[in-house]
Chain A
Amino acid sequence: MKFGVITFPGSNCDQDMVYTLRDILGMQVEELWHKDKDLKGVDFVVVPGGFSYGDYLRSGAIARFSPIMSEVIEHANKGGYVMGICNGFQILTEAGLLPGALLHNNSRKFICDNIYLTPQSGSAIISSNLDSQKAYKIPIAHGEGNYFADAETLKRLNDKDQIIFRYCDAEGHITEESNPNGSAENIAGVCNAAKNVFGMMPHPERASDFELGNTDGREIFEAMLSLTNA
């Protein structure tokens, strides 16, 4: 499995993702530039977090027009894996690869904190191989992470098993208090109908290094990799 991590102007989690995939998980990683016109043969594209183009308009609204995004869309349409974290999730919704939108947090404030996630989809590789009874402690850091979709879309996401993570408390209960940003149905991440494009607001790459005292994010990557490499 060869990964590609895209750098947009304003990306700031790109090197964290490269470090996690390459140095911690031992994966082969290609660093992709937003002006690149091909994906250099990668199997799995990661759109990292940050503030692409400053996010002065709407988060992710400009990045989707970068030259590389048409390659990413083509890759996704052919069934290739794509994952967006945080700003990457916003970019994938803006590009139409994932349903819904990310609105301002209901607190109207940027929030950086450890939160808990409970894995949901049993059919998407990013969550299917995880312990459904465990609450995974993963950091968030965003101002626009309030997941929104209309009722019909939400129903479809539920029916088609496209919700990959929901916010929960430390015991795994999905409660209003454990929803950090006002997301519909505590949704922290979704995938597309074909289950090859994933997006999530929390940062598993920030919980992957043993030195940081929390490796719950690494478990998410490893569980997924054991399926893709199988």
Chain B
Amino acid sequence: MQSAIKGELATLEQAQEMGLRPEEFDQIKDILGRTPNFTEMCIYSVMWSEHCSYKNSIKWLKTLPKEGPHMLVKAGEENAGLVDIGDGLGCAFKIESHNHPSAIEPYQGAATGVGGINRDIFTMGARPIAQLNSLRFGDLSNPKTKWLLEGVVKGIGDYGNAFGVPVVGGEVFFDESYQVNPLVNAMSAGILKVGEMISATASGVGNPVYIVGSATGKDGIQGASFASKDITEDSANDLPSVQVGDPFQEKLLLEATLELAKTDAVVGMQDMGAAGITCSTSEMSAAGEVGMNIDLDKVPLRQDDMKAYEILLSESQERMLVVVKKGHESEVVRIFDKWDLHAEHIGEVTEGNTLNYFQGGELVASVPAQSLVLGGGAPIYEREYTEPAYYAESKKFNIDQVEEPKDLVVVARKLLAHPNIASKKWVWNQYDSMVGTANMSTNKPSDAAIVNIKGTNKAIALTVDCNARYVNADPEQGTAIAVAEAARNIVCSGGEPSAITNCLNFGNPYNPEVYWQFVGAIKGMSAACTKFQTPVTGGNVSFYNQTANPDGSAKPVFPTPTIGMLGVLKDKSLQTTLDFKYKGDLIYLLGESKNDINSSEYLASILGVKNSPAPWFDIDEEYRLQGCVKSLIKNNYINAAHDVSNGGLYTALVEMGLPNGLGFDIVSDADVRRDAFLFGESQSRIVVSVTEDYEGEFIDLVGNHGVSLTLLGHVTQGKMMVDGDHFGFVDDIRKIYDDSIGNEMKK
């Protein structure tokens, strides 16, 4: 057998250079019963990379709650999660990171992140209808940060705008921990008819295998391995690992793929993302317990003389692997011809489980598919973890250690101008948010984005949330808060939380303190997802997000487990907005004000205290609060609902006033420090506005739910008053709030 395989044998040095560990190289030899050749070793190096194998995270990922009444596929089984939304429709949705490429080439890095996540959705036969993204950068006043922000936003915009799927929501957060290593997480959601999903499984011995879409070039070779190592000063040398995106090809591929999905010609399909042909052929074969013979000479190439490993590892974008029913080949060719795309027959499904790759008529690699994949032969590691010293240290913080500033009006203005609080308009005006004519939040703002499902009485609600400062302070509680906030946003918008996808961005897993953060995050997520009945449908893990110092030490990014949540509005009329509607409406706070400024933007950015515990949070109280708001909305007792989050109650009130230029006149709570009352971020609070006529019914209903209630004051014509102190007019604040980021970018 061995003599039949062409190519130099790989050495341990080469394997280590490609990111394999010595014991992994031995394991490969055991699996093959021989030393792999160079091409085969390359295949293992990418498939067993952190990015593809989840080797350091899968043990913990398996503990996440995955069962739910509406789940149509299990987490990790297909390219994205699929949730039943009723009316015979399913919603496929997923979030994914593209952090490392974006760190060195922000424009292409972000663009191809958008391309990749959308392909995950439409490869299942679902048409993407909404995108979101979650971005994190260093200090905005740093010129490098501006360059990264500018490039990432343009990359997301240029790709998504041309592709034609609206960006309906997202978040942008700045903290110096992301200075060298920004986070770019992209999410997409698509709709399909239940029962028409295309599976990422190969089957049927003798069925032809096609590569469709763009030609294969030398771009992005070993991107998966690149994503699985630390970002350092030398990372720019890895530029060839960054892929190049072409949204026009992606749009054609989308239309051709969905046209193909309507035929009977397809057995299975998977997009080519990380590790290109290698990953798609091995995962589809392993899922179907079959093998494949693939002729690399048939793959359309962008350049001559590509070596076998280059073709196998290329991460050229806008490609798919399709297993076609024998006899239906002409249908495939006809459809891709119509859209001027390649559709090349490159191989066949075979019996057994071996992947044989040929070039120039010779066998250049022969590996068992099962041995390559997660859940098969890919290694699984248990990592050690230890509580970092900063955790106990942070817990010592007490509000009494800081004095309350004398002039809170000045603090309020500073806070609203801070890039973490100010409007992200500069960012989202560069994204097409309205293409598809289904974004119901453009003119009716709410905490989550609401997307119309045309032809039904339903809409979906989408949000991405994670306050990484909380997670850093307390991974378990911080992550539970991220899930709770996502659910709260959906509930405030009139939706029922349904399921989540997650993007777990952490530092180096071999650092026990980083791994401690990871384990805590998983525990917190499990608890909260169980409580809110929002199972985890999938997502991705991105480790090695950190700044490696020349002396060998490293500073990890804030642990950032981004939560993407899907909710359903069974009836569009339940849509609830966050804006004050009428002068004179009563403003109520649901939930309790606390003497708590822990981990608030106010404490970190205005008072400069970086280490403090996570804000107050009680999951049972949160659950009662959300139940209460759901029934208030069903009974039509409230005119607006907005959750208190980043920036505290004051920021929430301003955000409610801005859309219609209305203000507020409120009184604070004598038992709580005024700065904590206005700017504290203790959880489980929602501000609502109520018409006086319904006040009695409203109070009774809230009482029945056992949720605490405070009358704050009323909506004014535009003046903002707290305890009789004038905080300015909302139209003046608008300039500060709207233009702060744009002005900083011009500097």
Please list the residues of chain A having a beta carbon within 8 angstroms of any beta carbon in chain B.
9-10, 12-13, 16, 19-20, 23, 49-51, 53-56, 109-114, 139, 141, 143, 203, 205-206, 208-209, 211-214
Contact = CB atoms under 8 A, between A and B. Distances in A.
Nearest to A56: B248
Given A13-B164, A13-B435, A112 B440 contact: no
Contacts of A114: 442-443
Contact of B161 (A110, A209, A213): A110
29 contacts: A9-B248, A9-B252, A12-B162, A13-B435, A16-B435, A16-B437, A19-B437, A23-B454, A49-B435, A50-B162, A51-B161, A51-B247, A51-B251, A53-B248, A54-B162, A55-B162, A112-B161, A112-B428, A112-B429, A113-B429, A141-B161, A141-B435, A205-B437, A206-B435, A212-B440, A212-B452, A213-B440, A213-B442, A213-B443
A211 B436 contact: no
B434 A141 contact: yes
Contacts of B249: 54
Which residue among B248, B339, B436 has the maximum number of chain A CB atoms within 10 Å of its CB? Answer: B248
Contacts of B247: 51, 54
B163 interface: yes
A112 B433 contact: yes
A215 to B, nearest CB: 10
B435 A12 contact: yes
Contacts of A23: 454
A219 to B, nearest CB: 15
Given A9-B340, A12-B162, A141-B435, 4 more contacts: A10-B248, A12-B251, A23-B454, A203-B434
Interface string B233-269: 0000000000000111101100000000000000000
Interface string B445-456: 000000010100
Nearest to A54: B248
A139 B443 CA distance: 11
B139 interface: no
Interface centre among A55, A143, A208, by most chain B C-beta atoms within 10 angstroms, is A143
Majority SS at the chain B contact face? loop
Contacts of B429: 109, 111-113
Contacts of A214: 442-443
A208 B163 CA distance: 22
A12 B128 CA distance: 12
Contacts of A53: 248
User: Which of A112, A139, A203 is most buried by chain B, counting CB atoms within 10 A of its CB?
Assistant: A112
Contact of B572 (A10, A49, A109, A211): A211
Interface residues on B, range: 20 to 34
B127 to A, nearest CB: 10
A9 B437 contact: no
B251 A10 contact: yes
Contacts of A206: 434-435, 437
B84 interface: no
Contacts of B161: 51, 110, 112, 141, 143
Contact of B431 (A19, A20, A51, A112): A112
B248 A16 contact: no
A189 to B, nearest CB: 18
B295 interface: no
A12 B163 contact: yes
A139 B340 CA distance: 32
Contacts of A50: 162, 164
B16 interface: no
A72 to B, nearest CB: 21
Nearest to B437: A16
Contact of B430 (A9, A49, A110, A208): A110
A20 B431 CA distance: 22
Contacts of B157: 110
Closest 9 CB pairs of A and B: A12-B164, A54-B248, A213-B443, A51-B162, A16-B437, A141-B432, A213-B444, A214-B443, A112-B432
